[in-house]
């Protein structure tokens, strides 16, 4: 309890720097996920059209996901050096798997009857994508983006090792100097960011679920 009070005092005394680190942290995480989404969403759509590609693409994305974060940062650092680009690249690779899989699941789980109905109404393939498949799979896609973002905020906490800044800088400095309040001053905001992302995106998912698909008292 006393430690918590000390931590808050420390945090308010160093608010500008901590805010700065929080900003860096968010920038790393969000840019990584953004670039990931730019590649992963089209790729997820592609493998839902060409099912033969699905297994190899998902296999590669899964293998990337399996690489331990600290090792990954180290490998990428050898190529890109001690810059934020290293952090963003690692987060980019980690974002691929959740978003590809969510896009793929979202598109393939659209009821074929709906697509049939749309085709029957004379919609072109692009119209079907825009007016049927995208709205119906948006909520599932958001699950992928949420998972990717939470993972990104978590991994961004080690990017200070690669000179990319972020809240990890405060945590590792605290560990080095055996300063509990410094450790907590970095860890608390990082944890809050992750929880906020989780809760915020969950709310967004509910909002993006078309009314007809929301789970109400199922009438049969």
Partner 1 sequence: MIQELSKAFSDPKIWEKIGAQTVEHLYLSLTAVALALLVAVPAGILLSRRPKLAQPVMTVVGLLQTLPSVALLAFMIPFMSIGNKPAIAALFLYALLPILRNTYTGIRSVDPAAKEAGRGMGMTPLQLLFLVELPLSFRVIMSGVRVSTVLIIGWATLAAFVGGGGLGQLIMSGFAMVRGSLILAGGIPVTVMALLTDFLLGRLERAVTPRGLRV
Which range of residues in 32-40, 64-72, 84-92, 125-133 is near partner 1 by CB under 8 A? 64-72
Sites for partner 1 among residues 73-92 (CB under 8 A): 74-75, 77-79, 82
Residue 171: burial class (beta carbons within 10 Å; 0-12, 13-18, 19+): buried
Does the footprint of partner 1 cover residue 68 (CB under 8 A)? yes
Does the footprint of partner 1 cover residue 11 (CB under 8 A)? no
Query: Distance (Å, rounded) from C-alpha 28 to C-alpha 39?
Result: 17
Site string for partner 1, 152-191 (x = CB under 8 A): -xxxxxx--xx-----x--xx-xx----x--xx-xxx-xx
Query: Distance (Å, rounded) from C-alpha 184 to C-alpha 151?
Result: 20
CB of 174 to partner 1, least distance (A): 7
136 in helix, strand or coil?
helix
Out of 5, 15, 63, 207, the only residue in the binding site for partner 1 (CB under 8 A) is 63
The answer to whether the CB of 34 falls within 8 A of the CB of 92 is no
Sites for partner 1 among residues 100-129 (CB under 8 A): none
CB of 57 to partner 1, least distance (A): 17
Structure tokens at 84: 């934020």
Does the footprint of partner 1 cover residue 145 (CB under 8 A)? no
Structure tokens at 126: 């692009």
Provide the strand spans (E) within 46-161. Answer: none
């Amino acid at each position: 309890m006393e430690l918590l009070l000390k931590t808050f005092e420390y945090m308010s005394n160093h608010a500008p720097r901590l805010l700065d680190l929080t900003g860096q942290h968010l920038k790393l995480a969000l840019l990584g996920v953004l670039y990931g989404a730019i590649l992963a969403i089209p790729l997820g759509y592609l493998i839902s059209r060409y099912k033969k590609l699905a297994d190899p693409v998902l296999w590669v994305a899964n293998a990337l996901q399996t690489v331990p974060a600290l090792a990954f940062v180290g490998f990428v650092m050898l190529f890109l050096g001690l810059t934020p680009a290293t952090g963003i690249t690692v987060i980019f690779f980690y974002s691929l798997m959740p978003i590809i899989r969510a896009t793929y699941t979202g598109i393939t789980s659209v009821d074929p009857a709906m697509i049939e109905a749309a085709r029957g109404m004379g919609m072109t393939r692009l119209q079907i994508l825009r007016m049927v498949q995208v709205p119906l799979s948006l909520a599932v896609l958001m699950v992928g983006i949420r998972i990717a973002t939470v993972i990104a905020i978590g991994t961004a906490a080690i990017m200070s090792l690669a000179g990319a800044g972020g809240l990890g800088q405060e945590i590792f400095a605290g560990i080095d100097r055996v300063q509990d309040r410094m450790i907590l001053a970095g860890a608390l905001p990082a944890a809050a960011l992750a929880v906020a992302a989780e809760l915020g995106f969950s709310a967004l998912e509910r909002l993006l679920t078309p009314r007809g698909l929301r789970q109400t008292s199922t009438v049969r």
